[in-house]
């Protein structure tokens, strides 16, 4: 089964529509999904934006968040090797350093990165990183 690292913008997108392809894929059992613990904190910060765009009541929003995060194994960044972090930092430093943990986890797990960040994706491709999950 393919391992897929999911970044924050994919999770954010998954909450916006019940019928989105992103949500359907995340809720399927076809892949093993992973993300960084820091993603949880980012989602908490984005909670009001998610609530605004989805127009869901707080209880419904928490249900959807719970439903999706049950399908993802969150990894504490301190368990990612220094080598993977260094490689990821070298790749991300000129694009967006805040994405380093997701790329590092992808390298560590020998996984595919699922991101909707076009700038990140294009920048990584230019540097020879091509381990992306595409739908």
Q: Would you list the domain boundaries of the chain? A: 3-126
Query: What span, in angstroms and rounded, lies between the C-alpha atoms of 56 and 65?
Result: 12
Query: What span, in angstroms and rounded, lies between the C-alpha atoms of 1 and 78?
Result: 25
pLDDT attached to residue 20:
80
Q: Which helix (H) or strand (E) holds 100?
A: helix 100-109
pTM above 0.85, yes or no: yes
Per-residue pLDDT band at 49 (split at 50, 70, 90): confident
Contact 19, 69 (CB under 8 A): no
Residue predicted with more confidence, 99 or 48: 99
Per-residue pLDDT band at 114 (split at 50, 70, 90): very high
pLDDT attached to residue 115:
96
- The per-residue pLDDT of the chain, averaged, comes to 91
- Please give the class, per CATH, of domain 3-126: alpha beta
């Amino acid at each position: 089964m393919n391992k897929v690292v999911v970044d924050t913008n994919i999770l954010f997108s998954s909450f916006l529509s019940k019928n989105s392809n992103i949500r359907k894929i995340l809720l399927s059992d076809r892949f093993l999904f992973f993300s960084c613990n820091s993603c949880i904190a980012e989602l908490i910060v984005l909670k009001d934006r998610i609530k605004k765009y989805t127009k869901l009541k707080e209880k419904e929003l928490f249900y959807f968040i719970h439903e999706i995060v049950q399908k993802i194994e969150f990894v504490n960044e301190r368990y990612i090797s220094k080598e993977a972090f260094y490689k990821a930092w070298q790749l991300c430093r000129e694009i967006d350093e805040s994405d380093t943990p997701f790329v590092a986890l992808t390298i560590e797990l020998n996984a595919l990165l699922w991101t909707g960040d076009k700038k990140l994706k294009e920048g990584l491709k230019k540097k020879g990183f091509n381990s992306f999950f595409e739908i």
